[in-house]
């Protein structure tokens, strides 16, 4: 299943930052390129579920939204790839921990309505309308009464 947010190339770029330039995802690597794609798709689906629950149409297609979501999908998928390939029970590198925290914080902000998409508003959300309300003056009262006033009476 293709998703509009991230690719295995995005994940590969992040993995190189933690595992060295020689590590390449492929059909024979552990995890495989297909595994990495599955992680990307699963994470994109999770984000879509949260967005849908917040009233957004999914998948998000706006340029800004796709760029925003690419970051979080790529980071979480790269963390899963690292755990699947090199993680075991070892303590992950600081960078992997940061990706996981970044993603968890983002999902929580989305669920709580504290983080919004840039290119679309949730369905059914009313856009706030602001107006200036002022108190009537003597002239307003006079005009409303057709030129007569009992203001001073």
In a domain, 87, yes or no: yes
- pLDDT digit string (tens) for the chain, length 153 residues: 567 899 999 999 998 876 665 578 999 988 999 999 999 999 999 999 999 999 999 999 999 999 999 999 999 999 999 888 877 667 888 899 999 999 999 999 999 989 999 999 988 655 555 555 566 666 555 555 555 555 555
pLDDT of residue 75: 96
- Residue 29 in any domain: the answer is yes
Q: Return d(Cα 79, Cα 82) in angstroms, integer.
A: 5
Residue 129 within a domain: no
Would 82 be classed as within a structural domain? Answer: yes
Query: Is the CB of residue 33 less than 8 Å from the CB of residue 8?
Result: yes
Burial of 70 (0-12, 13-18, 19+ CB in 10 A): middle
For residue 65, tell me if it sits in a domain: yes
pLDDT at 43: 97
Domain range enclosing 51? 8-111
Number of structural domains (the chain) is 1
| 119 domain-assigned | no
Number of H helices, E strands in the chain: 5, 0
Rounded to whole angstroms, how far apart are CA atoms 45 and 31? Answer: 20
Chain-centroid distance of CA 54 in Å reads 11
Per the domain annotation, does 94 fall within a domain? yes
Distance (Å, rounded) from C-alpha 72 to C-alpha 52?
17
Is residue 118 situated within a structural domain?
Answer: no
CA-based nearest residue to 122, from 67, 69, 73, 50: 50
């Amino acid at each position: 299943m293709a998703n509009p947010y991230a690719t295995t190339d995005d994940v590969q770029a992040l993995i190189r930052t933690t595992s060295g330039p020689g590590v390449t995802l492929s059909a024979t690597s552990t995890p495989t390129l297909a595994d990495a794609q599955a992680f990307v798709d699963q994470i994109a689906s999770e984000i879509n579920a949260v967005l849908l629950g917040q009233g957004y149409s999914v998948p998000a297609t706006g340029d800004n939204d796709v760029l925003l979501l690419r970051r979080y999908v790529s980071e979480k998928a790269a963390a899963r790839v690292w755990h699947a390939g090199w993680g075991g029970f070892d303590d992950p590198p600081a960078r992997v921990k940061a990706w996981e925290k970044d993603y968890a914080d983002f999902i929580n902000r989305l669920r709580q309505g504290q983080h919004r998409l840039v290119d679309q508003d949730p369905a059914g959300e009313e856009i706030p309308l602001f107006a200036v309300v002022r108190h009537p003056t003597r002239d307003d009262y006079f005009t409303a009464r057709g030129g007569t006033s009992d203001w001073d009476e």
